[in-house]
Structure 1
Amino acid sequence: MALAKKQAMGRGLSALLKDPENDIKSVTDKNADKVVGNIIELDIEAIEINPFQPRTNFNEESLQELATSIRELGVIQPITVRKMEFNKYQLISGERRLRASKIVGLKTVPAYIRLADDNESLTMALVENIQRHDLDPIEIALSYQRLMDEIQLTQEQVSDRVGKKRSTVANYMRLLKLDPIIQTGIRDGFISMGHGRAIINIDNHDDQADIYQKIVSQNLSVRETEALVKAYHEGTPEKAIPSSKNNDASFDVKSEDKKAFANYFGAKVDVKVAGNGKGKITIPFTSEEDFNRILKLINS
């Protein structure tokens, strides 16, 4: 009963927001107290994506799982938006929920409404997303960097905002000194943050890339990587690689196999294989319709 009453209130407040005579722009406006901080059913089409969103990778499998949950149970945790112009809102947090709601075909979504300037919006979006567990280390590092560059926070202030030790913040941000290829390797899961922290002790990007290739091709552990980096500084890197390591697990994907993937899915499929034989297949799509087309092919 309480949930139904709250949802009914959300729909009533939604109607209030669509009345031009009640265009709320600040906390001092009439009826602002009825809107700010309350859960309101907003039209999905009235919500634009936050340009400050730090997340750039969205796992499609987990997104589909969330969509299935929303289809069965609805959106349990409201998204957060800030009011822009009349009946227009900008997402602060909850892009996965918004994307999944669109996949399901929902017309409205429950939302908390905030009145915030760009800096507050960026801070809220970054801090909330940093707290999530599905951001990769590079995304977290970039979020810390943006808090420092765009909000003018010190590393100590960033530490306070996100509730992490200053040393933790510093360790993430040091990853941004890695060669871009290695950063991509961390994001794609070919190496861990621990590997990256070891490699960062090498200043030369070309040498970093050489070490990275050895880690991937020979499936080196973090400890073995640390030993390899130590040997690099001592001038004897080859001695640090255990002789038991080999490349037998790795294999090459034939060009005709790649073409077969591309022809089947009607898209340029990317296939990557690591030295341990593990890999990933990435299928790009250009729109929701294209995504649904590919999904039908997979399920057929």
Structure 2
Amino acid sequence: MAKATKKQALGRGLSALLKDPENDIRSASDKNADKVVGNIVELDITAIEVNPFQPRSSFNNEALEELASSIRELGVIQPITVRKLDFNKYQLVSGERRYRASKLIGLETIPSYIRIANDQESLEMALVENIQRQDLDPIEIALSYQRLIDEIQLTQEKLSERVGKKRSTITNYMRLLRLDPIIQTGIRDGFMTMGHGRALVNIEKKADQIALYERVIGKNLSVRDTELAVRNYHKERDSTKGIVKSESPTVFTKKASGELGDHLGAKVTISAAESGKGKITIPFHSEEEFQRIKKLIVGE
């Protein structure tokens, strides 16, 4: 108990330090920055603004009320994380549920870890922290991965290292974004699972996706039943008269080798069997040329 009291007193002391204009800390190299950055400080809730980069867009009101009740009884057990914007002005990086619940019950201060980060670092911290949560739905996770790739300009390989997930796992989540928005909403609302979505994404036409989605919901189909329905859908399409058949291996490989060659600035050879299996060969004549081609392929 004595340790807790001492820690709280220290937090209040740091809070007073931050309110002193003569100790306005702007960077990690400023005087007294080591006493504040990375430490737990009791900050005025009114001095904290919501993070505009927050990837989470919806908060369950009932769960928020339960958290508020817990905070009322036990206090904020896990501090939020903020970044310093200006004198006595901060922005949330993570912990928006705790922040909202604390405001809900009228708390004046909240324990906070202080970070100094630019907008890109703040976005990355918010997205990565968000992905690690256990209560996110698959679409929220997929959108967070997409934002890290688009806005932080990470390749899937780098993203895999950053979030500690296999590249195949990331790919499976991001493929869900190819589903019609109606189906994405169904996954977010719990009407069907990620497994169902992974099956439906193999149907390209959005109208057909939705038709099968409605069947999945209406008949309460399992993931296995959904996968079977998708396979049957493709069989029916292949057997329907008037369906344009796939190009022969010779035709599509000749066309693709030219397109790839133009893109990579190198001679590309593609060979394929009737089954569709094949091999792509890209020759290079130096390490420099190899690195150039690699950069074009992986997007680094």
SS of the counterpart of 1:235? helix
SS of the counterpart of 1:33? helix
Distance, in Å, in 1 between the alignment partners of 2:45 and 2:209 is 45
Residue 65 of structure 2 is matched in structure 1 by 64
Residue 56 of structure 2 is matched in structure 1 by 55
Residue 264 of structure 1 is matched in structure 2 by none
Distance, in Å, in 2 between the alignment partners of 1:100 and 1:149 is 31
Distance, in Å, in 1 between the alignment partners of 2:100 and 2:158 is 32
Residue 214 of structure 1 is matched in structure 2 by 215
Map Cα deviations across residues 156-180 of structure 1 (whole Å, 9 max, x no partner): 1111111111100000000000001
Map Cα deviations across residues 35-76 of structure 1 (whole Å, 9 max, x no partner): 001100001011111111111121222211111110011001
Counterpart amino acid of residue 148 in structure 2: L
Task: Establish whether residue 42 from structure 1 lines up as the match of residue 5 from structure 2.
Answer: no
SS of the counterpart of 2:35? helix
Distance, in Å, in 2 between the alignment partners of 1:159 and 1:46 is 35
Map Cα deviations across residues 3-60 of structure 1 (whole Å, 9 max, x no partner): 1111111111101111111110001111111100110000101111111111112122
Deviates more, 1:217-226 or 1:53-62: 53-62
Distance, in Å, in 2 between the alignment partners of 1:8 and 1:63 is 28
Task: Establish whether residue 11 from structure 1 lines up as the match of residue 12 from structure 2.
Answer: yes
* 1:218 shift after superposition: 1.1
Q: Percent identity?
A: 73
Distance, in Å, in 2 between the alignment partners of 1:60 and 1:215 is 29
Distance, in Å, in 1 between the alignment partners of 2:22 and 2:151 is 35
Distance, in Å, in 2 between the alignment partners of 1:28 and 1:149 is 31
Specify every segment of 5 or more residues in structure 2 that has no aligned partner in the other structure, as ranges.
239-300
Counterpart amino acid of residue 229 in structure 2: L
Distance, in Å, in 2 between the alignment partners of 1:121 and 1:214 is 42
* 1:236 shift after superposition: 7.7
Task: Establish whether residue 186 from structure 1 lines up as the match of residue 187 from structure 2.
Answer: yes
Equivalent residues in 2 for 1:27-176 (5 A)?
A: 27-176=28-177
Counterpart amino acid of residue 145 in structure 1: Q
Counterpart amino acid of residue 110 in structure 2: V
Distance, in Å, in 1 between the alignment partners of 2:172 and 2:8 is 44
Extract structure 1 runs of 4+ deviating beyond 6 A.
none
* Count of matched residue positions in the alignment of Structure 1 and Structure 2: 237
SS of the counterpart of 1:220? coil
Specify every segment of 5 or more residues in structure 1 that has no aligned partner in the other structure, as ranges.
238-300
TM-score by length of 2: 0.78
Distance, in Å, in 2 between the alignment partners of 1:59 and 1:139 is 14
Distance, in Å, in 2 between the alignment partners of 1:57 and 1:218 is 29
Map Cα deviations across residues 241-261 of structure 1 (whole Å, 9 max, x no partner): xxxxxxxxxxxxxxxxxxxxx
SS of the counterpart of 1:133? coil
Distance, in Å, in 2 between the alignment partners of 1:115 and 1:124 is 12
Which one has a bigger Cα radius of gyration? Answer: 2
SS of the counterpart of 1:122? helix
Residue 199 of structure 1 is matched in structure 2 by 200
TM-score by length of 1: 0.78
SS of the counterpart of 1:189? coil
